[in-house]
Structure 1
Amino acid sequence: MRMRIFAISLTISWLLWPGEMKEWPTHTICKTKDFEAYYKSCDPLQDVGVSLIPCSTNLAKNMMAKIGVILRQDANVVNTNTKIYFNGAYLFHEEKPLCEKTAPKFSFCGKKKGELVLYNHSVRFGSSILPKGEYFIFLELLNENNYKVACANFTVYSHRLD
């Protein structure tokens, strides 16, 4: 029994040991001849999973967004902090609520620290084609205590021929 407890403790320590990894790897969301999308978690202790189907520069299409994350903080009140850059130039910054105590907008609102959040819904980004260029998107979700719930950096390339 002691040997089993030791083995489990050693395995958990090995998994949680910071080691050589300084940051999460860059993940590919999708890649076509016209469009590429990548992301990397900007939280050193938490990676996220993201997929987007179809992979297209046409933002008017309904796309399926799938996001998975284990919460590092409670998600009772969650605000987004989004910054977008286009071809290296600052485009805009937006902060808005996602979860409010009186009006939860999403199924993950109210989830507790340590719970798995799976978001699998159709999304629509607008009614236009994404112009050719490089986009960098910083997305951070903060709770009511200003703690990170999740964080990711996205890089998107539109190779669309105009």
Structure 2
Amino acid sequence: MKTFKAAPLIFLLIYTSIGWPTHSVCKNSHLEIYYISCDPLQDFAFTLDSCSGLTTGSVNIRAATVLRHSIRELFVTVNLFFNGKSIPIFSRQLCEQNHPNLSFCGKKKGEHVYYEGPVSFRSYDIPHGDFNVTVELFNGDQHTIVCTNFTILSR
């Protein structure tokens, strides 16, 4: 009986020490994007309709996770890592406590969050090179909701 209880714990320790798998978002002759969860306790699902949308300023995405913490307030920060230095490029409050802006604002711990739709941004030419971008969503209590490291390879 003790072996049966210990097996899941051993599996969890081995799996979390190995880490989450790297997921491919898109790949074409000029651009490759991959991501891996930087939250050791939770993976994250993310898809992008096409790589070409990234140069037009609007792209359709799908993202999903199961909440480990409730989100009455939700904040996002995006940092670019270049030559070992973190450069903050975006920070915004997505959900306010009494003013839900998005459909998943107000979701409770254990609920499934799913977003499908367009994301608009200023269009930039993606420079050639390899970049790492970290996107972190956290609630008003500073608990991580989603943390993801993107690797962008532009040729």
TM-score, reference length from structure 1: 0.81
Matched, 1:136 2:135: no
Consecutive unaligned residues in structure 1, runs of 5 or more: 1-5
Aligned to 1:3: none
Tell me if the contact between 1:72 and 1:150 (Cα under 8 Å) persists in the aligned partners: no
Write the deviation string for residues 12-32 of structure 1: whole angstroms up to 9, x where unpaired.
Answer: x73894141221111111111
In the alignment, the residues of structure 2 paired with residue 58 and residue 78 of structure 1 have an alpha-carbon distance, to the nearest angstrom, of 24
Aligned to 2:8: 14
Query: Structure 1 residues 117 and 58, CA, compared in 2 at 3 Å: closer, same or farther?
Result: closer
Matched, 1:105 2:101: yes
Aligned to 1:56: 52
Query: Structure 1 residues 87 and 134, CA, compared in 2 at 3 Å: closer, same or farther?
Result: farther
TM-score, reference length from structure 2: 0.84
Query: Structure 1 residues 94 and 63, CA, compared in 2 at 3 Å: closer, same or farther?
Result: closer
Q: Which has the higher helix share?
A: 2
Tell me if the contact between 1:31 and 1:37 (Cα under 8 Å) persists in the aligned partners: yes
Aligned to 2:73: 77
* AA of the residue aligned to 2:20: W
SS in 1 for 2:8: helix
Q: 1:27 aligns with which of 14, 19, 23?
A: 23
Aligned to 1:114: 110
* AA of the residue aligned to 1:114: G
* AA of the residue aligned to 1:153: N
Consecutive unaligned residues in structure 2, runs of 5 or more: none
Deviation at 1:54, TM superposition (A): 1.1
Write the deviation string for residues 28-69 of structure 1: whole angstroms up to 9, x where unpaired.
Answer: 111111110011111111100011111137422532111011
Give identity over the alignment, percent.
Answer: 35
Tell me if the contact between 2:53 and 2:59 (Cα under 8 Å) persists in the aligned partners: no
- The number of residues matched between the two structures is 150
Q: 2:119 aligns with which of 117, 123, 127?
A: 123
* AA of the residue aligned to 1:97: Q
In the alignment, the residues of structure 1 paired with residue 10 and residue 106 of structure 2 have an alpha-carbon distance, to the nearest angstrom, of 27
Tell me if the contact between 1:70 and 1:114 (Cα under 8 Å) persists in the aligned partners: yes
RMSD between aligned residues:
2.4
In the alignment, the residues of structure 2 paired with residue 37 and residue 58 of structure 1 have an alpha-carbon distance, to the nearest angstrom, of 11
In the alignment, the residues of structure 2 paired with residue 105 and residue 59 of structure 1 have an alpha-carbon distance, to the nearest angstrom, of 26
In the alignment, the residues of structure 1 paired with residue 121 and residue 50 of structure 2 have an alpha-carbon distance, to the nearest angstrom, of 13
